[in-house]
Structure 1
Amino acid sequence: MTQHIYIYSPSSAVRDKAKFRRAVKRLEAMGHEVEVDEAALASHQRFAGDDATRLAAIHRAAASGADVALISRGGYGLSRLLPQIRYKALAKAIDKGTRFVGLSDFTALQMALLATTGSVTWAGPALAEDFGGEEAPDEIMQACFDDLLCGQGEGSGWRLPKATPLAAPVTTALSTARTDFQINQATLWGGNLAMLASLVGTPYLPQIKGGILFIEDISEHPYRVERMLTQLLHAGILGQQKAVVFGQFTNYKLSSHDRGFKLDSVVTWLQSQIKARVLTGLPFGHVATKVLLPVGEKVTLAVEGRDAFLLWGHEH
């Protein structure tokens, strides 16, 4: 099924142009019509063009009528643009069928759109990193992306790691807590943890109660992950959620100074602080194997033993 995919660069400049072009050719070889924004390869300082250039690119993506608006890459840059984005124009495009897809810095735009219009976007791949490698794209990511293009995606599942217990209410001992549960009709939201923390106290972070918050990050040591979670905790955000789901936290190094403090330590600490369920192992983040997730959609989170499921297709 041929889809119109619009490629634009709202954040950092594309440095690896060979990977960019390889990704475009790969999508075209899949039978898709790929339209590349006129400023997709622009460069200004570390950004993909100055602020006005990137802002115009976002609005061109919204006006393109494409089936999918896919970021070229993440990095940094969207935070600067949030006050100038015409959110109603993006919401109108989404209502007409354009699915905005991305991750990392793109989280800022996703949260702002959700906060201002309630529009659903997709946490998923970026062009260059996920489609531009010398080897074929990851099979799971590709299958999830194809499901999105065909409108067939109904959910995602994963296997919970053995080492991390499920969270229980703080009044219940972990040893006696039920491990099977289901949370229905909860708003799925989140993305890159650093971006979420940076939006606290701004009008661009949605006020979600009873939601399912998923998080991921790259190059953030576990103590920095905990520090950002502490910010969300003290701001009252984590206490209002029904579940917090850890995606992939990658590309950091522990040191001798940590003395056993690691990401599992952060998970255990978080479980002691909130009543919400805390899960780990979600295949999403700065990794090749990633699922696509509807940010802002009502979903069901179900756990049976070590099998976890996020389901949304049956809600419609």
Structure 2
Amino acid sequence: MKKHIYIYSPSGAVRDKAAFKRGVRRLQFLGHEVEVDADALASHTRFAGDDATRLAAIHRAAASGADVALISRGGYGLTRILGGIRYKALAKSIERGTQFVGISDFTALQLALLAKTGSTTWAGPALCEGFGVGGKPDPNDALSQTTPAVPDDIMEDCFNDMLTGQGEGTGWRQIKETGEFPQDLIVRASQATIWGGNLAMLTSLLGTGYFPDIKGGILFLEDVGEHPYRIERMLTQLLHAGVLARQRAIVLGQFTEYKLNSHDKGFKLASVVQWLRSQVKTPILTNLPYGHVATKVLLPVGAKADLHAEGRDVLLFWGNDHSGSH
């Protein structure tokens, strides 16, 4: 089904122009009409244009009438312009049927919009990292030798489900942590708000008017390039602020691209999970297929959902009744 997809850049400058072009071509190959914002490839220091330029791009995306407003990439930049966003205009755009989709830095916009208007957006891919993968392998780059020639099929299937309004939920298996995993775990949560995203971005909003006041929610978290002790430090801030104890479940996604060192002496991500479970009664679930990884699901931030977990098996079901769906 052909959809109108609007590409804009609210955060970091697009340095990988080849990935950008591949992403546009891939969406076109899938049968969609792709409209690229006039400043999508703008550059001002590390940003995709100065603050005013990126604000204007966000508002053009909202006024585009597109089925999807998809960010080109994450990075950094949205927190510094949250005060200039016309949230009612974005909410009206969502009511008219535009789905806002993104990852990483986009978490700041998602949570601010949820806090200000209650609107639902989607945690999912960005253009470059999601649809712009592939290209000619670099013989000097080992990582590029294993890069798939096409985007991940699960991600694309989930994106298509979102486009057609057929996405109803996702299921996965938790990580089995020897001696730590609660084998008799049973979790049930009904009509709980899905919210969260990038841990660093979410934590940076704490104490501001852009942080949603969600009680009894399903909080999902992911991050990239953050050592486990830094992940624990951010979780500790959320813990001390009372955020974690107010949730029905905390769902940990993928935490990637960090390196342990000799100083850690066995301290690792599993250590953080084990410690967190000792601090809160809220169930801690792991291995959600979402984050800075190729294989990821799309999650409706702000939608109501039911969560069922038994042992390692988890099902998160939101159906088709969330706001902003077609």
- TM-score class normalised by the smaller sequence: over 0.9
2:222 touches 2:252 (CA, 8 Å); kept in 1?
yes
Change (3 A) 1:224 1:71: same
Is 1:64 aligned to residue 78 of structure 2?
Answer: no
Gap runs ≥5 in structure 2: 135-148
Residues 216-227 of structure 1 mapped to structure 2, 5 A cutoff: 216-227=222-233
- Shift in Å at residue 22 of structure 1? 1.0
Q: Partner of 1:170 in structure 2?
A: none
CA distance in 1, matches of 2:19, 2:92: 32
1:171 corresponding residue in structure 2: none
Q: What is the identity, as a one-letter code, of the residue corresponding to 1:160?
A: Q
Q: SS state of the match for residue 215, structure 2?
A: coil
2:221 paired with 1:215: yes
Residues 31-80 of structure 1: per-residue CA shift (max 9 Å, x gap): 10000000000000000000000000000000000000000000000001
Q: In the alignment, is the contact (CA less than 8 A) between 2:166 and 2:320 conserved in 1?
A: no
Q: Work out which of the residue numbers 138, 163, 166 in structure 1 matches 2:177.
A: 163
Tell me the equivalent position of 1:38: 38
Aligned length: 308
1:64-111 CA deviation, whole Å, 9 max, x = no partner? 000000000000000011000000000000001000000100000000
**By how many angstroms is 1:164 displaced?**
6.6
Tell me what 1:74 maps to: 74
Residue 123 of structure 1 is matched in structure 2 by 123
1:137 paired residue number? 151
> 2:292 matched to 1:283?
no
8 Å Cα contact 2:188-2:308 kept in structure 1: yes
* TM-superposition CA deviations, 1:232-285 (whole Å, max 9, x none): 111111111111110000000001100110000100111111111100000100
Point out where structure 1 has 5 or more consecutive residues left out of the alignment: 168-173
- The secondary structure found in structure 1 opposite 2:18 is helix
For 2:320 and 2:65, how far apart are their aligned partners in 1?
A: 27
Equivalent residue of 1:313, what SS?
A: coil
TM-score after normalising by structure 1: 0.95
| C-alpha contact (below 8 Å) 1:63/1:93 kept by paired residues | yes
Given the alignment of the two structures, is residue 25 of structure 1 paired with residue 39 of structure 2, yes or no? no
* Secondary structure, aligned partner of 1:76: coil
Q: After alignment, is 74-83 or 300-309 more displaced?
A: 300-309
* SS across alignment from 2:214: coil
1:181 shift after superposition: 2.8
CA, structure 1 residues 166+187, in 2 after alignment: closer, same or farther (shift >3 Å)?
Answer: farther
Task: Map 1:215-254; keep pairs closer than 5 Å.
Answer: 215-254=221-260
- CA distance in 2 between counterparts of 1:144 and 1:85 reads 28
Q: TM-score, normalised by structure 2?
A: 0.92
SS in 2 for 1:110: helix
Identical columns (%) = 70
Supply the distance in 2 between the matched residues of 1:8 and 1:26 (Cα, whole angstroms). 16
Structure 1 residue 29: deviation in Å? 1.0
